[in-house]
Amino acid sequence: MCIKQEDEVEVEVMSAAEEVVVKEVVAEVISKAVAASVAVAASVAVVAERSQEDELVEGIMGINLGGTSVENKRKPGGAKTNENGLRFEARTRVVDAALSKSADGSVTFGYEGRLVEMAAVEKKKLREYMGEKRGEKLVPLDERGHGCKEPDEAYVYVGNGNGKSSSVLGEKRGIIYIIEKKFQKQGGSVVEKLQTTEFKVRNYRRQYPRYEIVYIYVLSKWFKRNAKVELESLLEAGVPVFWGEEEGSLREVVDYMCSRVF
């Protein structure tokens, strides 16, 4: 409806019915906006919530495990899978089961009332240790197989079977334990890596021919239910598998390693 004021300017005026409709629309918009704000706040609170255990591991390891932060939620599947793997690796560090650790990287494990000394190395430090500390002639970089360069954890034992580590191999027994960790909780390509174990063992033997190579897997429980064929193949090849999420699994890994020393 329009009315004409004295200066002849027309002014549009809403009728009572029109005013009611406008108020209803505005009220509905406000209601939806408030509901959306509440939902967003709740979602942020949920995804921002992180366990104290993850924060403690991050502090010790000096890495970002991602957790369930908002930033992590924005990352693509591969990035989140990698962060899950890092979290799994941090929680299954065999070195944490050692009785003592030295500044030079050597660790002491307890086994059936005896002490076993080994060198604890990981990732590229294995190659550095074998070249610099053990004096091994290293193969060229391009002769190392993919997946045979930076193990999640590795332990080197040199001795006469009494648990005491020696600085010189000589006629003594040398063992390199390669510990590979795999985490998966749904279908993906990670499980296929279990099929390459024999190749990796052969390549590590080529890199360190004077040492016995003992390959060990620490897996998440998903593999137990979904990798039957691969697990049977590992069993036939004599490759031990331990379940990282089960209580006492790290102790089992240590016992297995130490039992091969004596």
Question: pLDDT for 93-150, tens place per residue?
Answer: 999 999 999 998 999 999 999 999 999 999 999 999 999 999 999 999 999 999 999 9
For the question of whether the overall pTM of this predicted structure is more than 0.95, the answer is no
- Structural domain including 18 reads 2-45
d(CA 52, CA 84) in angstroms, rounded, equals 16
Q: Within a 10 A sphere around the Cβ of 208, how many other Cβ atoms?
A: 20
Examine the domain organization and report whether 202 and 217 are in the same domain: yes
Examine the domain organization and report whether 79 and 114 are in the same domain: no
Higher local confidence (pLDDT), 185 or 100: 100
Examine the domain organization and report whether 114 and 210 are in the same domain: yes
Examine the domain organization and report whether 111 and 236 are in the same domain: yes
Examine the domain organization and report whether 64 and 183 are in the same domain: no
Examine the domain organization and report whether 70 and 38 are in the same domain: no
Query: SS in 3 state form for 19-65?
Result: HHHHHHHHHHHHHHHHHHHHHHHHHHHHHHCCCHHHHHHHHHHCCCC
How many domains does the chain contain in total?
3
| pLDDT tens string 6-30 | 555 454 555 666 666 556 655 675 6
Element of type H or E holding 153: strand 153-159
Examine the domain organization and report whether 84 and 102 are in the same domain: no
d(CA 155, CA 240) in angstroms, rounded, equals 16
pLDDT, residue 50, reads: 46
Q: How sure is the predictor about 83, in pLDDT bands with cuts at 50, 70 and 90? A: confident
From 88, 113, 141, the end of a domain falls on 88
pLDDT, residue 172, reads: 79
Examine the domain organization and report whether 21 and 118 are in the same domain: no
* Percentage of residues in the chain having pLDDT higher than 70: 69
pLDDT, averaged across the chain: 81
Examine the domain organization and report whether 84 and 103 are in the same domain: no
Examine the domain organization and report whether 134 and 239 are in the same domain: yes
d(CA 195, CA 230) in angstroms, rounded, equals 6
Higher local confidence (pLDDT), 127 or 77: 127
Examine the domain organization and report whether 108 and 18 are in the same domain: no
- Quick check: 85 pLDDT over 80? yes
d(CA 141, CA 148) in angstroms, rounded, equals 11
Examine the domain organization and report whether 104 and 234 are in the same domain: yes
